[in-house]
Amino acid sequence: MSDGAQTRRPPQVLRGMRDFTPRQMLLRQRVIDILRRVFERYGFDPIDTPLLEYYEVLSGKYGEEGEKLLYRFVDHGGRAVGLRYDLTVPLARYVAVHRAELTFPFKRYHIGPVFRAERPQRGRYRQFWQCDVDVVGTRSMLADAEVLSVWIDALSALRVPNAVIHVNHRQLLEALARAAGVDPALALSVYRAIDKLAKIGEDGVREELIRAGVEPKAAERVLGLIRVQGHPETVVDTVRHLLAEDAEAQRALDELAELFGYLAAYGTPEGSYILDLSLARGLDYYTGPVAEVIVREPAIGSLGGAGRYDRLIGMFLGEEIPATGASLGLERLVEVVDEFGLLPTPETVSDVLVVAVEEQQRSESLRVAQELRANGIDAEVYLGERVDLRRQLQYANRKGIPFAIIVGPDELTVGVVTLRNLVTGEQERVARHEIVATALQRLVATGRRPARERTGQE
C-alpha cells in the first residue's frame, strides 16, 4: 500500500517550540512595539546578530547548568556552531568585533529569539524571545539605574500590576557566604539554596544548606542575613553593620546605595524595587549588581533578569570593557498581559472588508479599498472565486473584521455605499466621496483605531 491518508499522521511541532496564531502574533507585536518605544525613548539603538554563533563564542559563559542547555551541532562545513542562548554573549562578541566603530558608552536594544534545551513547562520554552537593553563601556551605577528605570517604564506601559524588582549584588552574595563561615568550596551550593527561598521557605533552605555540607551554625547565619528586609536604604544600612568587617561587601553596598539613590531620582515608585539578599541569578558572567523582576500572579517565575558583567567582553578582547544590562522574557510578559487582558487586542489587522455585491462593482470595490488604505485604514477585499454577499459577510464575521463597506448596484447609481458595523449590525448609507472620512470616524468612535495610530510608529 502506498502512503495513503490512513497512515499519515499530522506533522509534529518540536517540544518546547510553538506556532503562533494571528491573534497571538498581534498581541506579541503589540507588546514588542510598546517595549521598543520605551527603549528608544531612553536613546537605545537597535542591533541584530545571527542566530548561529561559533560554539566557542558561546561556550564557557553560562556556567555548568547553562552549558548543558546549549544547542550545539556541526554544520555542513564541519564547524562546531551553537544557537544563541541569550542576547548578552552575542553582544559581547559584537562589541569585540565592532569596537572601533562604536561610540561609548554604547547603548543598544535587541529583541529576538534565543534557544535553550530546557525541560518545557509553563513559561519555559526551548525557543523564546528576549528583549534586552544594555550599556557597554561604563562602570557608573547610572547605567545600572537606567536599565532598571527602563524596566519600570516598560512594565508600566504594559500595565503589568504588582511587579517588584528584586536587587542584589554578586559581591554581597560572596561576602554573605564568607561572613557565615561557609567553606569557599561550598559557596555555589549556598547561592543555589538561598535562591530557592521564595519557593521552599526558610526550613527548605536550611535543609538544603545542611544537605550540601554547610555547618548548622553557618546555615543559621546565612538565614539570619537573608532574612533582613525592608526599605532598600534601610536594608543597606543594616547589612553594612552586619558585614562591617568585609571590605568587598562595603564596596558592594556603596554601589547599591548609589544605584538606589539614582532610582529615587528617577522618581521610581516606592515598593517597586527591594534589596533581596537571597537573589542569586544563575548566569556565570555577572560581577556586580543583579536584579530580577517578579510578579506574584500568575506564578511563572521571573519576567526578566538583569545585571552587571564587567568581565564578559574581556573574554573576547583580552581587555576588560565594563557593561550592564537587563533582559525581559517576551513569552512571560505576553502571558501576564493576556491572562489579565491588559491590552485588548483585535482578532485581525483588518478594520474593514470592502464587499462587492456583484461582479460589476468589483472595480469600484478595489478603488474604495485603495482609498481606505491610502488613508491609514487596514482594508481588505474578499479574494474567493465567487462574488457572494452572504459568504463575504460570513468571512468578515469569522475573522472578526469590525466593519464592512458594501458596494452595490443601486447604491452606486445614486453615489452612495453602505457602511455596516458587523458587531452591532447597524448600517448607514454614506455618500461615496465621504466614505473614507466616515469610516475613520466610526473606527475611532468604536475604539478601533486606524493603523497609523494603532502602532504609534509611522
Comparing CB distances to ligand AMP, the nearer of 292 and 378 is 292
Residue range at the interface with ligand AMP (CB under 6 A); choices 120-128, 262-270, 390-398, 442-450: 120-128
> Using the rule CB under 6 A, which residue among 137, 289, 305, 408 binds ligand AMP?
305
Comparing CB distances to ligand AMP, the nearer of 66 and 408 is 66
Shortest Cβ distance from residue 128 to ligand AMP (Å)? 4
Q: Which residues touch 440 (CB under 8 Å, ≥6 apart)?
A: 375, 376, 377, 450
Position 332 contacts ligand AMP (CB under 6 A) = yes
Segment 273 to 292, residues that bind ligand AMP, using CB under 6 A? 283
Comparing CB distances to ligand AMP, the nearer of 129 and 395 is 129
> How far is it, in rounded angstroms, from Cα 430 to Cα 416?
5
Residue range at the interface with ligand AMP (CB under 6 A); choices 38-46, 226-234, 302-310, 359-367: 302-310
Question: Which of 130, 79, 75 has its CA nearest to residue 332?
Answer: 130
Comparing CB distances to ligand AMP, the nearer of 123 and 376 is 123
Shortest Cβ distance from residue 401 to ligand AMP (Å)? 32
> Using the rule CB under 6 A, which residue among 53, 331, 378, 411 binds ligand AMP?
331
Comparing CB distances to ligand AMP, the nearer of 226 and 283 is 283
Q: Which residues touch 316 (CB under 8 Å, ≥6 apart)?
A: 57, 92, 93, 95, 96
Site size with ligand AMP, rule: CB under 6 A: 17
What cell was used for 129?
524571545
> Using the rule CB under 6 A, which residue among 93, 116, 308, 420 binds ligand AMP?
116
Position 30 contacts ligand AMP (CB under 6 A) = no
The SS3 assignment for 128 reads strand
- What's at 438, amino acid-wise? T
Comparing CB distances to ligand AMP, the nearer of 116 and 166 is 116
What cell was used for 77?
562545513
Strand partners, 113: 129
Which residue has 563564542 as its cell numbers?
57
Comparing CB distances to ligand AMP, the nearer of 48 and 65 is 65
Distance of CA 209 to the CA centre of its chain: 33
Shortest Cβ distance from residue 330 to ligand AMP (Å)? 8
Using CA atoms, how far residue 401 sits from 332, 395, 397, 406, 425, in Å, is 28, 9, 6, 14, 13
**Cα distance between the two ends of the chain:** 57
Shortest Cβ distance from residue 297 to ligand AMP (Å)? 15
Position 118 contacts ligand AMP (CB under 6 A) = yes
- What's at 133, amino acid-wise? V
Residue range at the interface with ligand AMP (CB under 6 A); choices 121-129, 152-160, 189-197, 249-257: 121-129
Shortest Cβ distance from residue 327 to ligand AMP (Å)? 4
Position 335 contacts ligand AMP (CB under 6 A) = no
What cell was used for 213?
555540607
> Using the rule CB under 6 A, which residue among 44, 71, 125, 262 binds ligand AMP?
125
> Using the rule CB under 6 A, which residue among 34, 303, 372, 422 binds ligand AMP?
303
Segment 71 to 110, residues that bind ligand AMP, using CB under 6 A? 86
User: What strands lie across the sheet with 45-46, from one edge to the other?
Assistant: 45-46, 106-115, 127-136, 323-329, 302-308, 289-295, 163-169, 273-275
> How far is it, in rounded angstroms, from Cα 422 to Cα 420?
6
How many H-runs (helices) and E-runs (strands) does the chain carry? 18, 16
Site string for ligand AMP, 130-149 (x = CB under 6 A): x-------------------
Position 192 contacts ligand AMP (CB under 6 A) = no
Shortest Cβ distance from residue 119 to ligand AMP (Å)? 9
Q: Are 304 and 327 in contact (CB under 8 A)?
A: yes
In terms of phi and psi (left: phi > 0; alpha: psi -120 to 50; beta: otherwise), the region of 89 is alpha
Q: Are 307 and 130 in contact (CB under 8 A)?
A: no
Question: Which of 108, 131, 149 has its CA nearest to residue 35?
Answer: 131
> How far is it, in rounded angstroms, from Cα 323 to Cα 93?
13
Shortest Cβ distance from residue 70 to ligand AMP (Å)? 13
> Using the rule CB under 6 A, which residue among 99, 124, 192, 432 binds ligand AMP?
124
Shortest Cβ distance from residue 130 to ligand AMP (Å)? 5
Shortest Cβ distance from residue 363 to ligand AMP (Å)? 49
Position 168 contacts ligand AMP (CB under 6 A) = no
- The H or E element containing residue 439 is helix 435-445
Which residue has 466621496 as its cell numbers?
433
Q: Are 324 and 307 in contact (CB under 8 A)?
A: yes
Residues within the interface to ligand AMP (CB under 6 A): 86, 116, 118, 123-125, 128, 130, 283, 302-305, 327, 329, 331-332
